[in-house]
Structure 1
């Protein structure tokens, strides 16, 4: 079975990546994620969606577009892997670069992705074909949905990814 999304699970929501602007478009900018240039993925930054509420004119919005070819940091907001090409949506909002906040796919409440956050990024895929899906969850939301008699898995859901403090 040919899986088109094999490299993309490494690109998780909340993760900061280095990127380069490929071109400018009226809606925003397509970028190449450094290290994934040959992975066959689409990586846009929708500048209108991210900045239209905070800018007062089209010229002010255009001034926020990074120069073509310039390297910069971006945070992965979403990773769509249902069908080719994989699409990784990026954000460059200052608040998101500091700490990306998203909604838990179970309870709908805000959750912080990245260092210091309580998010789990779950990758689900079928065994009968390509395509996969990302679910973002609070640790406790996932743990509560695991059967009580499966206490080992509940405990792992609460601890996975946590760095033990000495």
Structure 2
């Protein structure tokens, strides 16, 4: 087997491994971004815990087909970058979408979340979901509110009884 084919097979295996580990995979078109803008984007993605790569579309298509993600192949045209989210499902979409708001050259094309193929519009909807930590804080706040109200009510009843007995 020639060396070039071995390198390509190794890249396909690497892409497949990243796709299998990822909770969310977001494809974006980055053509027109300057080097400084691309560096800024990579920094923001790194801070969000997202891995950002550019691979040959043909190799990504081979990996996607092997994993049963045939629906994503149609989005692999032109210069496409891939953001892999391993921990937070919404982090890649949110970070790319926030960056795209100020840099019109970046376009969200598609994504794979929990095995489902998302088009660009669904990826933008996914980006609107707050981070996991914010959702957990809201959940805890909603659980805590009734308990706090009950404690305030008991305290008010105690204060009222004390004021009645003092009279």
Flag the structure with more relative contact order, 1 or 2, with Cα contacts below 8 A and sequence separation at least 6: 2
TM-score by length of 1: 0.25
Q: Which has the higher strand share?
A: 1
TM-score by length of 2: 0.25
Structure number with greater Rg is 2
